[in-house]
């Protein structure tokens, strides 16, 4: 997943070789933030009131410099927010978002600034295509923000945006605190039957005084996946699932009221700006363009997969019934466990066997080797750059001529109670130029692997590593002159293309032979095991597609706001979710517990955009086919064309950009785009 850009000051960054963590105290960061926020507001006011004839340099370029002020501090705050979760940092994050909202309101209220941008827009002769795209996008964003509203409605919009920011922060803080407070203790080791030994060791707790041994599960995804896949105890899987599902659903940290209030505020904002719904407002700038197109896309995904998914569920039900001598309908907490058992029987495939070939070190080496074969870049670990935590590694990325393109901070391990769950890539220092020379870019990638003496990755974890590196490469290989459109600064339903493209290299023997060696023997993965792995990849594929489609439908229904829950009661929201996901919910799992209270994608960024994962997956599959069709997954001519796609960032419309790469538009997008 790509996080929002948190880039360093363009002027300052040109003077340094990489983003540097200052390790300042919270109070020092707050002081810096407030000082730089005031500096940014002052600089914007000066820009807006400039009496010189508007030009790209004194208006658009100047604006980009203004927006970069203080972002070195912001980058550090974002990093700490995702990795510490202290109350002080959560409060500081809210302060930062409040300033962001204040600055956006200032832009929206400034007709002087809009008029300057508008004059540049109406006289773009002599500008490059990239510069024209920036001017057009900035002007459109100002219009969409309500710059033409009257004074009373601008004030109302400012109040609504402030409330929205506060609700988003509250939602995140509630979710963070609820996960931090979550604890699931197991006293008897017999209940852990089936779980990997290294996992059991990692969750073991020993009381210093009594020496009593217990086992503690947290709310992280690695813990959830491991328990649901391997724990023999149905009671353990059920109780853990049910308790984890209640995170942020009740009590002091409940998000039911927060999300309902948030969607009502979003609806008011959309209406004020002339849109029927937040979904329409968000999608007008995406590849899909309309809610109708998204629903059509999702319905087609359901139509293409529902019968196969029902067949997959029936097969799993029969397998479970035979093994347990019971015909009770399979429950959500049983699916992953019995699916793993069926996969082993059907394909003689064991995930634990494959993990032996995906040590973290080997996977990293392979990832970098593949990037080298595709783009000629190299990666070397360096120890001279300060990071916020001892686990973070820094890699220097060079092109084929030896020029430093970027530094990549890599943070791989889960840290209970502090680090955000999931995985993400986040820019830390943008592209910048000093005297016409491109300066190194800095990006971070984060995952949540369980740390051990020799960390072995599941196939999904290996895919995640390659996925986040794909996001990083989007920025590393960027060749835009300005940071405005570099790297992942693209339309939301296009942003996952480069990341999901990289995942395909996990599933090719030619690429695996570069790195997938047994962590003990050093031998390459046998052909027989690889063939089993590939065959097993298709296992329950349609069921997995429907699961993703359910979440996309949930996201769309919240932002469509036609039939919001009648109240914030648990029952009302549960009913809303069940109706929203009904078409893709073949085993009625939506009725089990709430999903929305912890589904952070629906807040911002991916709002009405979760479908983008499936959308981009089809693009990525088609892009990889361009290589496969030549018989060479590293084909240099195709790689050169794909690199151009990455290099352009958002400076070219994604449909046009993809068509330039592939020679034709993607078939699934259709004529109405």
Instruction: Determine contact, residues 627/509, Cβ cutoff 8 Å.
Output: no
Give the Cα-Cα-Cα angle 323, 329, 335 (nearest 5 degrees).
65
Per-residue model confidence (pLDDT) at position 468 = 97
CA pair distance 318, 306, nearest whole angstrom: 18
pLDDT > 90 fraction of the chain, expressed in percent and rounded: 73
Whether residue 14 is predicted with pLDDT greater than 50 in this model: the reply is no
CA pair distance 114, 655, nearest whole angstrom: 28
Per-residue model confidence (pLDDT) at position 82 = 86
SS (H, E, C) 336-386: HHHHHHHHHHHHCCCHHHHHCCCEHHHHHHHHHHHHHHHHCCEEEEECCCC
DSSP E strands, 87-200? 184-186
Q: What is the mean pLDDT of the chain?
A: 91
Per-residue model confidence (pLDDT) at position 391 = 94
Q: Do domains 149-180+255-347+531-603 and 355-530 have the same CATH topology?
A: yes
CA pair distance 34, 341, nearest whole angstrom: 56
CA pair distance 100, 4, nearest whole angstrom: 13
CA pair distance 419, 413, nearest whole angstrom: 9
User: Domain coordinates of the chain in residue numbers?
Assistant: 149-180+255-347+531-603, 182-247, 355-530
115-138 average pLDDT score: 96
Per-residue model confidence (pLDDT) at position 1 = 55
Sequence-distant (6+) residues with CB within 8 A of 152 are none
Secondary structure of residue 484 in the 3-state scheme: helix
CA pair distance 436, 599, nearest whole angstrom: 43
Instruction: Determine contact, residues 381/393, Cβ cutoff 8 Å.
Output: yes
CA pair distance 577, 128, nearest whole angstrom: 47
Closest CA to 562 of 292, 301, 293, 298: 292
Q: How many residues does the chain have?
A: 673
Q: Would the CA dihedral through 263, 269, 272, 276 be positive or negative?
A: negative
Cβ neighbours, 10 Å, residue 453 = 5
CA pair distance 349, 280, nearest whole angstrom: 45
Whether residue 29 is predicted with pLDDT greater than 70 in this model: the reply is yes
Cβ neighbours, 10 Å, residue 181 = 13
Cβ neighbours, 10 Å, residue 637 = 11
pLDDT in tens, 455-470: 999 999 999 999 999 9
User: Torsion over CA of 620, 221, 386 and 26, rounded to 10 degrees?
Assistant: 120
Per-residue model confidence (pLDDT) at position 4 = 37
**Confidence grade of residue 30 (pLDDT, cut at 50, 70, 90):** very high
Instruction: Determine contact, residues 503/467, Cβ cutoff 8 Å.
Output: yes
**Confidence grade of residue 6 (pLDDT, cut at 50, 70, 90):** very low
**Confidence grade of residue 21 (pLDDT, cut at 50, 70, 90):** confident
Closest CA to 252 of 162, 181, 185: 181
Instruction: Determine contact, residues 20/409, Cβ cutoff 8 Å.
Output: no
Instruction: Determine contact, residues 171/522, Cβ cutoff 8 Å.
Output: no
Whether residue 7 is predicted with pLDDT greater than 50 in this model: the reply is no
225-250 average pLDDT score: 94
Q: Which fold has domain 355-530?
A: 1.10.1370
DSSP assignment string, 426-467: EEEE--EEETTEEEPEEEEEEEEEPP-TT-B--HHHHHHHHH
* 385-390 contacts at long range (C-beta below 8 A, 24 or more positions apart): 385/18, 385/20, 385/409, 386/20, 386/21, 386/23, 387/21, 388/21, 388/23, 388/76, 388/79, 388/80, 388/83, 389/83, 389/415
**Confidence grade of residue 357 (pLDDT, cut at 50, 70, 90):** very high
Q: Would the CA dihedral through 328, 332, 336, 339 be positive or negative?
A: positive
Instruction: Determine contact, residues 10/432, Cβ cutoff 8 Å.
Output: yes
Closest CA to 104 of 12, 37, 170, 15: 37
Per-residue model confidence (pLDDT) at position 157 = 92
**Confidence grade of residue 18 (pLDDT, cut at 50, 70, 90):** low
Per-residue model confidence (pLDDT) at position 494 = 94
pLDDT > 70 fraction of the chain, expressed in percent and rounded: 96
Per-residue model confidence (pLDDT) at position 498 = 97
DSSP E strands, 37-158? none
177-200 average pLDDT score: 92
296: exposed, middle or buried (Cβ count in 10 Å: 0-12, 13-18, 19+): middle
pLDDT in tens, 301-335: 999 999 999 999 999 999 999 999 998 999 999 99
CA pair distance 406, 82, nearest whole angstrom: 22
Per-residue model confidence (pLDDT) at position 2 = 53
Closest CA to 555 of 314, 322, 294, 309: 294
Per-residue model confidence (pLDDT) at position 670 = 60
**Confidence grade of residue 13 (pLDDT, cut at 50, 70, 90):** very low
Q: Please state which of the ranges 295-299, 339-343, 561-565 shows the lowest mean pLDDT.
A: 561-565
Give pTM, 2 decimals: 0.86
- Here the tokens at position 346 are 């059907």
268-289 average pLDDT score: 93
Closest CA to 90 of 173, 28, 22: 173
Cβ neighbours, 10 Å, residue 368 = 20
CA pair distance 198, 453, nearest whole angstrom: 9
Per-residue model confidence (pLDDT) at position 335 = 95
* Chosen CATH of 149-180+255-347+531-603 out of 1.10.1370.10, 1.10.150.120, 1.25.40.10, 1.10.287.3510: 1.10.1370.10
Whole-Å CA distances, 524 to 247, 270, 366, 507 = 43, 55, 13, 14
Instruction: Report the range out of 487-491, 600-604, 623-627 with the highest average pLDDT.
Output: 623-627
> Please, what is the angle between helix 151-181 and helix 87-109, to 10°?
160
Q: Which position has the token pair 């020799």?
A: 454
- Here the tokens at position 255 are 């998000």
**Confidence grade of residue 16 (pLDDT, cut at 50, 70, 90):** very low
């Amino acid at each position: 997943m790509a996080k929002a850009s948190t880039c360093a000051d363009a002027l300052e960054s040109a003077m340094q070789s990489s983003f540097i963590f200052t390790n300042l105290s919270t109070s020092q960061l707050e002081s810096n933030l407030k000082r730089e926020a005031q500096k940014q507001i002052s600089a914007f006011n000066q820009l807006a009131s400039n009496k010189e004839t508007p030009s790209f340099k004194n208006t658009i370029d100047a604006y980009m410099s203004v927006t970069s002020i203080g972002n070195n501090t912001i980058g550090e705050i974002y990093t700490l927010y995702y990795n510490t979760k202290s109350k002080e940092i959560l409060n500081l994050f809210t302060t930062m978002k409040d300033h962001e909202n204040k600055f956006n309101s200032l832009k929206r209220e400034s007709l002087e600034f809009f008029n300057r941008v508008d004059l540049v827009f109406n006289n773009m002769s002599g500008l490059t295509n990239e510069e024209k795209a920036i001017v057009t996008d900035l002007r459109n964003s100002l219009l969409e923000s309500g710059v033409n509203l009257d004074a009373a409605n601008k004030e109302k919009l400012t109040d609504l945006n402030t409330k929205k920011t506060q609700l988003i922060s509250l939602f995140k803080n509630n979710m963070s605190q609820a996960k931090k407070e979550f604890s699931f203790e197991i006293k008897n080791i017999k209940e852990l039957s089936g779980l990997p030994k290294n996992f059991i060791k990692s969750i073991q707790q020993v009381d210093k005084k009594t020496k009593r041994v217990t086992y503690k599960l947290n709310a992280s995804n690695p813990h959830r996946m491991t328990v649901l896949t391997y724990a023999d105890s149905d009671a353990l899987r059920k109780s853990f699932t049910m308790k984890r599902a209640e995170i942020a659903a009740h009590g002091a940290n409940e998000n039911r009221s927060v999300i309902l209030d948030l969607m009502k505020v979003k609806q008011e904002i959309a209406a004020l700006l002339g849109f029927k719904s937040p979904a329409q407002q968000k999608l007008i700038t995406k590849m899909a363009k309309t809610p109708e197109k998204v629903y059509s896309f999702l319905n087609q995904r359901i139509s293409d997969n529902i019968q196969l998914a029902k067949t997959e569920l029936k097969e799993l039900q029969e397998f479970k019934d035979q093994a347990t001598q019971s015909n009770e309908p399979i429950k959500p907490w049983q699916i992953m466990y019995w699916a793993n058992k069926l996969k082993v029987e059907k394909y003689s495939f064991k995930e634990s066997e494959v993990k032996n070939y995906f040590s973290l070190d080997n996977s990293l080496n392979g990832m970098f080797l593949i990037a080298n074969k595709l783009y000629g870049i190299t990666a070397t670990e360096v120890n001279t750059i300060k990071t916020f935590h001892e686990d973070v590694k820094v890699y220097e990325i060079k092109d084929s001529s030896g020029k430093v393109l970027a530094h990549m901070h890599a943070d791989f391990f889960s840290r209970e109670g502090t680090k955000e769950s999931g995985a993400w890539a986040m820019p830390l220092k943008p592209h910048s130029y000093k005297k016409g020379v491109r300066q190194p870019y800095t990006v971070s990638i984060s995952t949540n692997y369980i740390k051990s003496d020799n960390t072995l990755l599941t196939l999904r974890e290996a895919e995640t590593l390659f996925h986040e590196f794909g996001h990083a490469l989007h920025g590393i290989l960027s060749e835009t002159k300005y940071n405005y459109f570099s790297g992942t600064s693209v339309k939301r339903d296009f942003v996952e293309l480069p990341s999901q493209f990289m995942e395909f290299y996990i599933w090719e023997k030619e690429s695996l032979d570069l790195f997938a060696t047994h962590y003990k023997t050093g031998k390459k993965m046998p052909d027989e095991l690889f063939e089993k792995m590939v065959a097993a990849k298709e296992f329950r594929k349609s069921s997995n597609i429907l699961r993703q489609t359910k979440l996309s439908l949930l996201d769309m229904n919240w932002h469509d706001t036609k039939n919001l829950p009648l109240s914030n009661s648990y029952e009302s929201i549960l009913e809303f979710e069940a109706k929203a996901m009904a078409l893709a919910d073949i085993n009625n799992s939506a009725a089990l517990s709430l999903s929305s209270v912890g589904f952070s994608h629906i807040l911002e960024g991916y709002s009405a955009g979760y479908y983008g994962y499936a959308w981009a997956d089809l693009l990525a599959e088609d892009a990889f086919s361009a290589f496969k069709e030549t018989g060479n997954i590293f084909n240099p001519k195709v790689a050169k064309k794909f690199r151009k796609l990455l290099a352009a960032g958002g400076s070219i419309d994604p449909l046009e950009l993809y068509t330039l790469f592939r020679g034709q538009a993607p078939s699934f997008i259709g004529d109405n785009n």
